[in-house]
Structure 1
Amino acid sequence: MKNKYLTLLFGLLLAASSCNDWLNVDSKTILTDEDISQYPELLETQFLSSYDDLRGCIQAIGDGAFSYRQHHLSSFTDDAANNTPWDAGVMSINISPGRVFASIFSQSKGEILTPVWPYKEINKVNKFILQNKDSENSEVQSLVGEAYFIRAYMYFEMVKRYGGVPLYSGSLDHINSINDRATEEASWDYICNCLDSAIVLLPETQKVATEDRDRANRYTALALKSRAMLYAGTIAKYGKVINNGLQGVRADAARDYLIKAADAASQIIQENKYSLSSEFGDLFNGKDEDNNEIIFRFSNVAKTGRQVFHDYWNMPYRVKKAGYTAFMSPVLDIVEQFEKLDGTIQPLDYSAKFSDPADFFAGRDKRLDATIIYPGGEFMGERYSIYRETRVKTASGTKVYAYSNQEDWTNADKVPGHESYMMSGYDGIFPNTSGGGFTNYGFYLKKTLYAVKQLEDYLSAENEQDAVIIRYGEVILNYAEAAIELATSYGETKYLAEAQTAFDQLRDIHGGLPSKTMTIDVVRHERRIDLLYEGFRYWDLKRWRIGTEMHNKQFDALHPILNIDETQSPTAIYYTIERVSAPDYLITRTKWFQERDYYCPVPTDQSPGITQNDGWN
């Protein structure tokens, strides 16, 4: 029966035409009231393509699509760096003058990617709402609620980049240019109104239980509201209004936005539908994709025919066994931000000597092992051998052995007299300018890497890893931040107790950490660790207006050293560690973030006459 609906839908689509080239929107209402009455499932079949459109807008990791063009969004923050020397492609936008991750969609013009407003997709959703908002069918009303959610999410992705954007609720079929920007405050209010409409219309659980994480329900809309209103509230508090209100939000509006964020998060917590996962890493690696912490996700190939493409460019050579990978590396600075199990933040012990390099990282927040592959750490049953060089101490002095390049590693010369040891670790570190999958920083990404089984081809349909877009842990962190901001700056304390309880549960269940009294700094730190490498940090740096603190800053690498001391009997073999500057050939070794980068440049190709953001003219 489903094939019958799809066949009819295909025929109707062929009848549609377009009246505007760059918007490329449908000029006709595809389904009539009679069609919907006779084949109600057809409306749903038609509507679901809007979720695929949404995937193209959400860039938690990468530009252009969910994960794209090799480069991880965290490479542009203080949490990680690009592990390659190339200044071409996406990475070139982190070099002066910089325009980091400006676009929603991109269209290729030779080697140039041109930003494109997503109004074609918004127009489709708008027309769906207009056509069906007055329906008396409860299932159609639920679809309309999903449409409001998708529209709100698309606008959220634009507003967090550009500030105020053109706002449309009706058909755009006869619009020739998108150039009438609303203020940023009006844009946040529009997102809030769309989400409020979605919350009213959406069910608590999707009618098909297995689709409840793949489509929006009432809690999905509440969760996005908690995120969006938190962004609006903190931009109002920490930013300033410029460009005639197109950028920035009145400081007087901060309290109201933060209350909306707190109320939305509190509703989710009180309803008790979702819970925190005790196996934190399995939320992201394909092992536990139906976990009750996941609120909204994008399914992968086997379920949708659409590749999430989450990890292909960021896994170690040991996993992929091919070049062009490990393009993003965690930096030493973020590793040292993982708390000790007593709740303190301490640097690694650079005076210690351990027979197992993993011991340098022992006794820390459980999320470290779930998020980062460190020297001596494990992934998919294999231990990672990461050290820069071998120092052999003899009675006559110390000899140093190390690989100078990837060719040396390929030849795999062993330490003379100790042939069971490579001169540098199998997984690095040695000077690497090839993008061949070996760390220059001493660490690899682990969180989000597919870990169900070893694959022959990570671009194949075998990789069924989903992408987590919204989860309960984020909701708790949104609540904690809104609550402490309200209490600290506005004397609004009614949210503190509930937020503190949920905050402590997250620390305990995810990290194995003790309770810690919330302050703004404590909450921001917890958010950074729990959401690490999920695409939040870049936007958090923007909305807190602290991105410029990263400008021209360099981040350090870790060099473990294998020591072989022949002057002892028996010969002592142990590891030490050293903090070093990252190689100067790495492109994001030095970060670029100017004042103007709090907003991205507005796309102008299809919008003649539009007001550009300050600093981008």
Structure 2
Amino acid sequence: MKKIYILVVLLLASIACEDPFDLTRKDIISEDIVFEDEGLANAFLADLYSNAQFQIITGQSNFNMNLINSFGGEARNFAPWQAPFGQVIGPVFNEQGAGALNYWPYAHIRETNEFITRLPGSSSLGEDFIAVRVAEARFIRAHAYFEMVKRYGGIPLVTEALPIDASEEELFVSRNSEKEIYDFIGSEMDEIVDILPSVADQDGRATRWAALALKSRAMLYAASIAQFGSVQLDGLLGIPSGEANTYYQRSLDASREIITNGPFSLYRKQSDPVQNFTDLFTDENGNPEVIFAEKWDALAGKGHDWDLTAHPDGFGFSWNSNYPVYLETLELFDFMDGTSGKVDRSMYDDTTPIDPNWFFGQRDPRMRASISHPGMSWRGKTVHYHRSTDYTDPADGLRKRSASATFIIPGSDDWPGAGPRRNINAATTSLQIRKRLDENLPATGVNLSSTDFYVFRLGEIMLNYVEAAFYLGDPNGDMANILNNEIRDRAGMPALSGAEITEDKIRQERRVELAFEAHSFWDLRRWRIAVQELDGVVRHRMHFRYDYDDGTYTIAIADGDRGRVRSHQERNYYYALGLARLADNPKLIENPGY
């Protein structure tokens, strides 16, 4: 029978007394012990959690944390050698596969299947322990399938670990349909929701609420595919349009259970909506909004580099300024009086004075909490993104201009002629991601951040509910209440009238609330508007010049990607499985267009 072995850190003390010529390994533990010991079973499960892709953290100093945001056209990375710039803007996905978005974790799924299959056979562990831990593993497995189905559509559904002597018939598995994968995810969550605890015995473990949250999101995706997509490849891709409402209802029901009966509420600890939305992503002391998070703890040796790479230049972080934000993302954030965030672009002529107290200060507070922008206060200082400053020299009364970051405007309170180099050079957009930055974190070392990544939070679930309710005709009559009195009220934004709650407005609200949280790209795809939003669409950077005499900026705009062109063709709604996988498994059928 095949054996599973897990390496352990501590060697048994008895090893020193063993025969030195005994070739039997003493630093590994057999599967028979793993599934009979609570600590070892928990260690196995912890490894499954660790290997799950709840967020993308690859790349030097974890710079692929911005990969999905870059694919969605929200922000890119600073340098073309980084995947969220070089592999996102320009290349066309082809028959080789999904490129930087590749995800085919069947080795991980096999380990998860082993755990799900073997743990119930334990003769030593308690029934409750076994039931809960298996349910957690099923949650992890379902999440892996969700990450694949939104990339490739129908994929092979494997729920058993194949034996080492499996036949070709067993090894070469055909693709299940996209509908079957979504149905599997939904049914799995239905089966485990009453097994998982309401409160995890350890942070970072799945609960009944995490299972409902995964169902809420996955069923919303399935509904969108049915409503806006088309059935292709003899049913392997797409979901019949007549089933859209069924999936919307399943999403709505899961969301409503969390909203109504879950122990969660929107984060509202601060009266200032900017500070409140800022703190939402760094406050881990009884944060009432978090449903399930990827846990980080730098002091325990598990830190990440989001602060190191995302902080604006001028605050002591050795890397910094790595995630420029586009003008088009800024424009999604309306003004607090309800007017559109898309102002007349003729203002961007490098001549028209623009008051930052209006242009930035009166926008949706979520913008000011999510995007680093010129003149904002951060860590007790002002953040500078201007390329030059016009001023009247008090020495001679003449109007002058400085473009030096080391020159202080005469008579000012340390206002530099220009912002720091990495905030203003040709690679940046003069806006950067602020969300998830810890204002109080010392700028020392690497892997220094401990901010958790919210896989599921109540804000998303409420927006899932609103979207599903909209397409179902608001069956519970509370869509406007949740959107206005919860999401927008918390943000400090005015309520929308019934006539204003449209498909476009709901989508905009989602893109604003969930900006830079790895949602927008997948949303554009499931709504089937990624081609019109992304394919060949030029996004812009901003150049700011400051007038010290009247406190205004002039703005010029330019190509935000320095001549590179982002691509998202129609066929890219489903990525290629790739020639290598087709060669490995003759039963696989490639997606259309490749």
Query: TM-score, length-normalised on structure 2?
Result: 0.82
Which of 469, 474, 478 is the matching residue for 1:498? 478
2:453 paired residue number: 467
| Post-superposition offset of 1:319 | 3.1
Contact 2:424-2:430 within 8 A present in 1 as well? no
Contact 1:274-1:472 within 8 A present in 2 as well? yes
1:611 paired residue number: 589
2:114 paired residue number: 127
Query: TM-score, length-normalised on structure 1?
Result: 0.79
2:471 paired residue number: 485
1:282 paired residue number: 279
Which of 271, 295, 298 is the matching residue for 2:294? 298
| Helix, strand or coil at the partner of 1:296 | strand
1:190 paired residue number: 184
Q: Deviations over 1:339-382 (max 9, x none)?
A: 2223332445849757x745431222221121111111122222
2:17 paired residue number: none
CA 1:383–1:458 in 2, change beyond 3 Å: closer, same or farther? farther
2:22 paired residue number: none
5+ residue gaps, structure 1? 17-27, 107-112, 404-408, 434-439, 488-492, 565-571
Moved more, 245-254 or 478-487: 245-254
| Helix, strand or coil at the partner of 1:562 | strand
Moved more, 240-249 or 61-70: 61-70
1:567 paired residue number: none
d(CA) in 2 for partners of 1:530 and 1:93? 27
d(CA) in 2 for partners of 1:64 and 1:252? 42
Which of 503, 506, 509 is the matching residue for 1:526? 509
Contact 2:91-2:566 within 8 A present in 1 as well? no
Query: Aligned pair count?
Result: 547
For residue 381 of structure 1, what is the amino acid of its counterpart?
G
Which of 544, 551, 559 is the matching residue for 1:574? 551
CA 1:396–1:303 in 2, change beyond 3 Å: closer, same or farther? closer
d(CA) in 1 for partners of 2:309 and 2:362? 30
CA 1:602–1:308 in 2, change beyond 3 Å: closer, same or farther? farther
Report the RMSD for the aligned CA atoms in angstroms: 3.5
d(CA) in 2 for partners of 1:194 and 1:12? 39
1:515 paired residue number: 495
For residue 494 of structure 1, what is the amino acid of its counterpart?
P
Q: Deviations over 1:558-588 (max 9, x none)?
A: 3332225xxxxxxx3432232412356365x
Contact 2:196-2:206 within 8 A present in 1 as well? yes
d(CA) in 2 for partners of 1:367 and 1:96? 30
1:214 paired residue number: 204
2:378 paired residue number: 379
Contact 2:204-2:293 within 8 A present in 1 as well? yes
Contact 1:12-1:30 within 8 A present in 2 as well? no
Which of 336, 340, 351 is the matching residue for 2:335? 340
Which of 156, 164, 170 is the matching residue for 2:146? 156
5+ residue gaps, structure 2? 1-7, 14-24, 269-275
For residue 608 of structure 1, what is the amino acid of its counterpart?
N
| Helix, strand or coil at the partner of 1:80 | coil
d(CA) in 2 for partners of 1:421 and 1:380? 16
Q: Deviations over 1:374-429 (max 9, x none)?
A: 111122222112212233579999765436xxxxx5xx356699896543223666
CA 1:64–1:82 in 2, change beyond 3 Å: closer, same or farther? closer
Contact 2:119-2:134 within 8 A present in 1 as well? yes
Contact 2:58-2:65 within 8 A present in 1 as well? no
2:308 paired residue number: 312
CA 1:612–1:237 in 2, change beyond 3 Å: closer, same or farther? same
5 Å-filtered alignment, 1:212-611, equals 213-278=203-268, 279-284=276-281, 286-288=282-284, 290-302=286-298, 305-323=301-319, 325-347=320-342, 350=347, 353=353, 357-391=356-390, 400-402=401-403, 409=405, 412-413=406-407, 421-426=415-420, 430-433=424-427, 440-460=428-448, 463-487=449-473, 493-495=474-476, 497-516=477-496, 517=498, 518-549=501-532, 550-563=534-547, 572-582=549-559, 585=562, 587=564, 590-606=565-581, 607-609=584-586, 610-611=588-589
d(CA) in 1 for partners of 2:89 and 2:172? 30
CA 1:524–1:115 in 2, change beyond 3 Å: closer, same or farther? closer
For residue 308 of structure 2, what is the amino acid of its counterpart?
Y
| Post-superposition offset of 1:115 | 4.8
1:169 paired residue number: 159
d(CA) in 1 for partners of 2:72 and 2:446? 26
Contact 1:384-1:427 within 8 A present in 2 as well? no
Contact 2:302-2:447 within 8 A present in 1 as well? no
| Helix, strand or coil at the partner of 1:297 | strand
d(CA) in 2 for partners of 1:441 and 1:43? 49
Contact 2:175-2:589 within 8 A present in 1 as well? yes
Contact 1:353-1:574 within 8 A present in 2 as well? no
| Post-superposition offset of 1:224 | 0.7
For residue 43 of structure 1, what is the amino acid of its counterpart?
A
Contact 1:70-1:313 within 8 A present in 2 as well? no
d(CA) in 2 for partners of 1:114 and 1:337? 25
| Post-superposition offset of 1:483 | 0.9
CA 1:583–1:45 in 2, change beyond 3 Å: closer, same or farther? closer
CA 1:540–1:419 in 2, change beyond 3 Å: closer, same or farther? closer
d(CA) in 2 for partners of 1:236 and 1:13? 52
Q: Deviations over 1:428-478 (max 9, x none)?
A: 664345xxxxxx212121102232322211324xx3222111101111011
d(CA) in 1 for partners of 2:223 and 2:138? 22
Contact 1:83-1:586 within 8 A present in 2 as well? no
Give yes or no for the alignment of 1:31 onto 2:17. Answer: no
Which of 62, 68, 88 is the matching residue for 1:73? 68
For residue 575 of structure 1, what is the amino acid of its counterpart?
T
Moved more, 382-391 or 132-141: 132-141
Contact 1:62-1:72 within 8 A present in 2 as well? no
CA 1:134–1:263 in 2, change beyond 3 Å: closer, same or farther? farther
For residue 551 of structure 1, what is the amino acid of its counterpart?
D
d(CA) in 1 for partners of 2:413 and 2:208? 62
Contact 1:74-1:538 within 8 A present in 2 as well? yes
Contact 2:341-2:363 within 8 A present in 1 as well? no
d(CA) in 2 for partners of 1:432 and 1:183? 46
Contact 1:429-1:559 within 8 A present in 2 as well? no
Which of 49, 59, 71 is the matching residue for 2:47? 49
d(CA) in 2 for partners of 1:178 and 1:308? 38
Contact 2:70-2:76 within 8 A present in 1 as well? yes
Contact 1:204-1:217 within 8 A present in 2 as well? yes
| Helix, strand or coil at the partner of 2:293 | strand
